[in-house]
């Protein structure tokens, strides 16, 4: 059995925490501690992965990504590509699950992949299946698809040359999600607020024909709401009155653009 832990600072001695629910490593056992980078070598570690917008990834996360790719290979193998996206790729370990996007023309059993992944790596998996056509349509019409794939790790190299198609009716439905922040500011957590703000800002930038990335959207959020760091938002450190005033202004401005687009399209 092998358990991976992270060295943390203690008051008198540095320490490594391991889960209580484990087979082996009983209290009193002697164990060997060695660096993960040197001590963990895989037979297939030479397999190449493709990194897009990911500047740095902790070795333990890279191990997890390779494990996920291997699980999907062994379980199915018949797919176009696999993408790992979302907060898992952010620096540190502040993620709740792993976002996995599988491109396939076939109907795969999501439950099997989800169960195998969670059992093997002990982390919840959020899995999305898309055909190649559905992915291209998403990249052309949905700003969040652009953000999702602006920072990802893929099993195979991918290049998608898509047109910028503004579908005002689809954007109207997407923007409606962000209205929930206005009505539920006090009950929403920091991460929930971030998702709703990101959705609105992404739509606003998309309407101005910007090519979206996570960095572009996050920087726009910081400038718009006068934040030094996105962590202020995720940690719920917002001044309600000032924030909502600016948020409502941008929401209504974006909504007006969308309604104007719908009306012009119907003429």
- What are the sequence ranges of the domains in the chain? 7-154, 168-266
Structure-token pair, residue 1: 């059995």
Biggest alpha carbon distance in the chain? Answer: 78
> Which of 114, 178, 120, 170 has the alpha carbon at shortest distance from 140?
170
- Residue 161, φ and ψ in degrees, nearest 5: -95, 100
pLDDT digit of tens for each residue in the chain (267 aa)? 566 777 777 777 778 777 776 666 777 777 777 776 544 444 444 468 999 999 888 988 999 999 999 888 888 778 899 999 998 998 887 787 899 999 998 877 778 878 888 888 888 889 999 999 999 999 888 999 999 999 999 999 988 777 788 999 999 999 999 999 999 999 999 989 999 999 999 999 999 988 899 999 999 999 999 999 998 998 889 999 999 999 999 999 999 999 999 988 876
**What is d(CA 249, CA 263) in angstroms, rounded to the nearest whole number?**
21
CATH code, residues 7-154: 3.30.460
Query: What letter would DSSP give residue 43?
Result: T
**Nearest in space to 103 (alpha carbons), one of 124, 78, 130:** 130
């Amino acid at each position: 059995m092998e358990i991976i832990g992270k060295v943390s600072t203690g008051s008198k001695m540095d320490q490594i925490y391991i889960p209580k629910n484990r087979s082996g490593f009983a209290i009193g056992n002697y164990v060997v501690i060695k660096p993960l980078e040197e001590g963990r070598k895989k037979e297939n570690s030479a397999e190449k992965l493709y990194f897009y917008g990911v500047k740095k990834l902790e070795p333990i996360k890279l191990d997890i990504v390779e494990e996920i790719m291997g699980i999907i290979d062994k379980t199915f193998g018949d797919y176009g590509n696999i993408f790992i996206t979302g907060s898992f790729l952010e620096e540190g370990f502040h993620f709740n699950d792993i976002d996995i996007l599988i491109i396939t023309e076939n109907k795969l059993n999501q439950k099997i992949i989800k169960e195998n992944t969670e059992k093997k790596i002990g982390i919840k998996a959020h899995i999305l299946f898309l055909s190649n056509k559905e992915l291209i349509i998403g990249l052309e019409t949905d700003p969040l698809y652009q953000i999702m794939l602006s920072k990802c790790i893929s099993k195979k190299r991918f290049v998608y040359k898509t047109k910028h198609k503004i579908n005002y009716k689809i954007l109207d439905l997407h923007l409606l999600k962000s209205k929930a922040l206005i009505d539920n500011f006090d009950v929403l957590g920091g991460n929930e607020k971030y998702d709703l703000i990101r959705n609105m800002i992404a739509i606003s930038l998309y309407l101005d024909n910007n090519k979206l990335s996570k960095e572009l959207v996050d920087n726009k959020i910081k400038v718009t709401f006068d934040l030094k760091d996105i962590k202020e938002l995720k940690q719920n450190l917002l001044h309600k009155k000032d924030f909502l005033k600016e948020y409502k202004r941008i929401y209504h401005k974006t909504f007006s653009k969308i309604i104007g687009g719908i009306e012009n399209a119907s003429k």
